[in-house]
Amino acid sequence: MSKKSYRIAVIPGDGTGPEVVREGLKTLEAVSSKEGFKYETVNYDFGGDRYLKTGDILPDSAIEELKNFDAIYLGAIGHPQVKPGILEKGILLRLRFELDQYINLRPVVLYNRDFCPLKDKREEDVDFVVVRENTEGLYCGSGGFLRKGTEYEVSVQESINSYKGVERCIRYAFRCAQKKNKTKQLTLCGKTNVLTFAFDLWERTFHKVARDFPEIKTDYAHVDATCMWMVKNPEWFDVIVTDNMFGDIITDLGAMIQGGMGIAAGGNINPEGVSMFEPIGGSAPKYTGKNSINPLAAISALGMLLEEVGEASAARRVEEACRDVVKNKVKSLGAGRMGYSTSEVGDLVAKNIMDG
Ligand code: IPM
Ligand code: MN
């Protein structure tokens, strides 16, 4: 049994964030008592409400404070009364960048074939992980306007790809393929036929790093083809590595083939620092306060958090509990259609863990 104790920063955030985080923390309580580790949580109220009330988004001091935690657990960022971009860039992206969480790890796993929109696909057919670069690419904010607001306006938005940034991401993805018990295959997803600078660097680096992992099969697919194969033959994928923008896009498609946003979790990982875990679906303002949103994505994210801090057995319990609830309990993964409320789904997961 683990004797460890963890400090976890919790940022419930906007919209349904607080509702799903509550269920994640319920799960944490259950699994910690089962596994015998201790934890302490500290709440941070960053998000739209705080911004509208006080004008501050994310104080510099908070970044320093957050570096002292073992992990960060995040609900959702995005508020209907705040112009798009302010909170996303000011909180979510800033944390990813300043904490150098250079990996965005997004498993695409189907727990119940009834919830897969693809015809004739079984659970074992949808089981791969996307390793998305998380600190560079089009997300850097490099670019600007010229003659803004005139007919001669020019806007430039550049994709920044550094050798170091690409290399560390690809290396992480190879390690991921090593650990994952499937076909030991890593697919680079790019666009080498058009983005002949950015993905030239990616491709050369991919082949260079591959020499350190002779047991891993390498593969390449353009991003458009990747989307096609994800729908037609998702079973072909084991681990996919890609840049920030493509990773953002293909993981929304990934979320759909695993049953929807209600189940899709992700980790913003700094393997040498503090990592942050979140459901990838956003704040879902329409469902806020209704106790109807699906908390399983947030609960799965909590499972990923436990894996990252070293509680592998606890992580497995959380994953198995989620799998059981998806397989045997809920009627749908969509908000309001689960046959249970948000808190009831959290109760089912907690009970499954306690009985296990
Ligand atoms: C995600 C989200 C974010 C992203 C937004 C909210 C900035 O879509 O985590 O996938 O683009 O990375
Ligand atoms: Mn996204």
188 Cβ inside 6 Å of ligand 1: no
pLDDT digits (tens), the chain, 356 positions? 556 999 999 999 999 999 999 999 999 999 999 999 999 999 999 999 999 999 999 999 999 999 999 999 999 999 999 999 999 999 999 999 999 999 999 999 999 999 999 999 999 999 999 999 999 999 999 999 999 999 999 999 999 999 999 999 999 999 999 999 999 999 999 999 999 999 999 999 999 999 999 999 999 999 999 999 999 999 999 999 999 999 999 999 999 999 999 999 999 999 999 999 999 999 999 999 999 999 999 999 999 999 999 999 999 999 999 999 999 999 999 999 999 999 999 999 999 999 99
In the prediction, which pLDDT does 1 show?
A: 52
- For ligand 1, mutation pick of 82, 89, 93 (most atoms within 8 Å of CB): 93
In the prediction, which pLDDT does 189 show?
A: 99
In the prediction, which pLDDT does 71 show?
A: 98
Nearest residue (CA) to ligand 1, atom 10: 248
280 Cβ inside 6 Å of ligand 1: yes
In the prediction, which pLDDT does 326 show?
A: 98
- Residue ranges and CATH numbers for the domains of the chain are 1-101+265-356 (3.40.718.10), 127-257 (3.40.718.10)
**Ligand 1 atom with minimal separation from the 89 CA:** 7
Nearest residue (CA) to ligand 1, atom 5: 88
**Ligand 1 atom with minimal separation from the 244 CA:** 12
Nearest residue (CA) to ligand 1, atom 8: 248
Ligand nearest the Cα atom of residue 278: 1
**Ligand 1 atom with minimal separation from the 248 CA:** 10
In whole angstroms, what is the distance from residue 155 CA to residue 171 CA?
A: 34
Query: Ligand 1 centroid vs 38 CA: distance in angstroms?
Result: 31
Query: Ligand 1 centroid vs 248 CA: distance in angstroms?
Result: 7
In the prediction, which pLDDT does 327 show?
A: 98
Ligand nearest the Cα atom of residue 282: 1
In whole angstroms, what is the distance from residue 232 CA to residue 230 CA?
A: 6
86 Cβ inside 6 Å of ligand 1: no
- For ligand 1, mutation pick of 57, 82, 92 (most atoms within 8 Å of CB): 92
**Ligand 1 atom with minimal separation from the 93 CA:** 7
pTM: 0.97
Amino acid at 70: D
Ligand nearest the Cα atom of residue 85: 1
**Ligand 1 atom with minimal separation from the 77 CA:** 6
In the prediction, which pLDDT does 3 show?
A: 62
